[in-house]
C-alpha cells in the first residue's frame, strides 16, 4: 500500500510517562519512554502511515527553555523540507504545549504540509491512557491532505485545535485544551475541518546562530498588588514584560508610573488579560505609559510573540 511518510518528533511529556501502578495518574515520571515505545502501543498507525521516528529530546515540558524551542523548530523544518515527508507529528508534554505551539506556528514554513502536536494527560502505563488514541489521531491528521495550510495544529481528545490560540485550561481532565474563542478547527475519527484552509503569513526566519530568545517575563497582577515585581524584572534584565491584568487589560493606577519608567528604559510592556478569553484592546493608557495591547493573545502567547519580535529587532 502506498502510505504517506510521517515524521514523528518525540520530546517527552506525560504521553511518554511511566508509573509503577496502572492506577497512578499523578505520581509518574514524565518523558521516561522513547518514540519507539509510543509507536509500539498503537499498531493501527501502520495502516495509516509509514512513521519515521526521531527522539529530539526527552523532558517534562515544565522544564522547556527557548533553546529547546529552537532545536525543535530546526528539527521540524528539516522534516518539512524533506520531499519524502508528507507531514510532521510532535509528541510533547501538555504543561507548556501551548507555548511550543505558538512558537512553531510563527516560525515554521508549514504552508504546504501539516504539523500536528499532541500529548496526553495520563501516563502511558495508566488504565485508559489517552496517549495512544491522541497519537493515532495526530498521525491521521498529519497524513490527511486537508490538514495543510492551517498552521500548527494541536490534536487532543479527538479535537483539532489551532496552535496559535490553544490554551491548557484544566490540570487533569482529558479535554484539558481549550480551542480559544474561534472554536475547534476540526475533529478526528475521521479527520474533518469546519472551514477551508486560509492564506497564512510568511513564517519568521530564525537566525542560524540563535541559541536562546530574549528574556520576557509574565507578571500576574492581583488586586492591590504593588508594581515592585515589574521593577525587579527590569533590574534582572527582562527585555519585555507581559502583564496578565484584570478584565480588558486594566492597568491599576499605581502601575502607571512604573510601566512608563520601564518603557523609557527600553523594556517593552504588553497589557494582556488574566480572564483566559477575550481581546485586550488599545487604550489611551498606552499613549500615556508606552505599553501596547495584547489583542487576542493569551499572556503565554503574547510572551512568545514578543520574544520573537525582540529576536527580529536584533537581526
Ligand atoms: N508535566 C507534564 C509535561 O508537561 C505534563 C503532561 O505532559 O501532561 O511534560
Q: Is 128 left (phi over 0), alpha (psi -120 to 50) or beta?
A: left
Q: How far apart are CA 36 and CA 34, in angstroms?
A: 5
Domains of the chain: 5-193 (3.40.50.1170), 216-314 (3.40.50.40)
- Please give the model's pTM, rounded to 2 decimal places: 0.96
Contact 75, 56 (CB under 8 A): yes
Tell me the DSSP string of 108-155: ---SSS-EEEE--SS-TTSTT-SHHHHHHHHHHHHT-GGGTTS-EEEE
Distance 246 CA to ligand 1 centre (A): 28
Q: How far apart are CA 227 and CA 254, in angstroms?
A: 7
The active-site residue out of 5, 11, 14, 91 is 14
**pLDDT per residue as tens, the chain (315 positions):** 789 999 999 999 999 999 999 999 999 999 999 999 999 999 999 999 999 999 999 999 999 999 999 999 999 999 999 999 999 999 999 999 999 999 999 999 999 999 999 999 999 999 999 999 999 999 999 999 999 999 999 999 999 999 999 999 999 999 999 887 888 999 999 999 999 998 888 999 999 999 999 999 999 999 999 999 999 999 999 999 999 999 999 999 999 999 999 999 999 999 999 999 999 999 999 999 999 999 999 999 999 999 999 999 876
Q: How far apart are CA 81 and CA 63, in angstroms?
A: 28
Question: Which pLDDT score is estimated for 54?
Answer: 98
Question: Which pLDDT score is estimated for 68?
Answer: 98
Ligand 1 neighbours (beta carbon < 6 A)? 13-14, 30, 60-62, 93-95, 119, 121
Question: Which pLDDT score is estimated for 314?
Answer: 75
Q: How far apart are CA 139 and CA 206, in angstroms?
A: 27
Told to judge if 273 belongs to the known catalytic residues of this protein, a careful annotator would answer: no
| Polymer length in residues for the chain | 315
Distance 262 CA to ligand 1 centre (A): 34
Distance 33 CA to ligand 1 centre (A): 13
Amino acid at each position: 500500500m502506498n502510505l504517506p511518510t510521517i515524521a514523528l518528533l518525540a520530546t517527552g511529556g506525560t504521553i511518554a510517562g511511566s508509573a509503577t501502578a496502572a492506577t497512578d495518574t499523578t505520581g509518574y515520571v514524565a518523558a521516561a519512554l522513547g518514540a519507539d515505545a509510543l509507536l509500539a502501543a498503537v499498531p493501527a498507525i501502520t495502516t495509516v502511515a509509514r512513521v519515521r521516528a526521531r527522539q529530539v529530546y526527552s523532558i517534562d515540558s515544565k522544564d522547556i527553555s527557548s533553546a529547546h524551542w529552537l532545536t525543535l523548530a530546526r528539527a521540524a523544518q528539516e522534516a518539512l523540507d524533506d520531499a519524502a515527508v508528507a507531514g510532521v507529528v510532535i509528541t510533547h508534554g501538555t504543561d507548556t504545549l501551548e507555548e511550543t505551539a505558538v512558537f512553531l506556528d510563527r516560525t515554521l514554513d508549514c504552508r504546504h504540509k501539516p504539523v500536528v502536536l499532541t500529548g496526553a494527560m495520563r501516563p502511558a502505563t495508566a488504565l485508559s491512557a489517552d496517549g495512544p488514541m491522541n497519537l493515532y489521531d495526530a498521525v491521521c491528521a498529519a497524513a490527511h491532505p486537508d490538514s495543510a495550510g492551517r498552521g500548527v495544529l494541536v490534536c487532543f481528545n479527538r479535537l483539532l485545535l489551532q496552535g496559535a490560540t490553544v490554551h491548557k485550561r484544566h490540570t487533569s481532565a482529558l479535554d484539558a485544551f481549550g480551542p480559544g474563542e474561534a472554536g475547534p478547527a476540526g475533529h478526528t475519527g475521521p479527520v474533518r475541518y469546519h472551514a477551508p484552509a486560509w492564506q497564512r503569513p510568511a513564517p519568521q526566519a530564525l537566525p542560524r546562530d540563535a541559541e536562546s530568545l530574549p528574556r520576557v517575563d509574565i507578571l500576574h497582577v492581583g488586586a492591590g498588588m504593588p508594581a515592585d515585581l515589574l521593577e525587579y524584572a527590569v533590574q534582572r534584565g527582562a527585555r519585555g514584560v507581559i502583564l496578565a491584568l484584570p478584565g480588558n487589560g486594566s492597568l491599576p493606577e499605581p502601575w502607571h508610573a512604573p510601566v512608563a519608567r520601564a518603557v523609557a528604559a527600553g523594556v517593552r510592556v504588553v497589557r494582556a488579560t488574566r480572564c483566559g478569553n477575550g481581546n485586550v484592546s488599545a487604550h489611551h493608557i498606552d499613549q500615556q505609559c508606552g505599553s501596547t495591547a495584547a489583542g487576542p493573545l493569551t499572556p503565554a502567547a503574547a510572551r512568545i510573540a514578543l520574544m520573537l519580535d525582540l529576536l527580529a529587532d536584533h537581526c
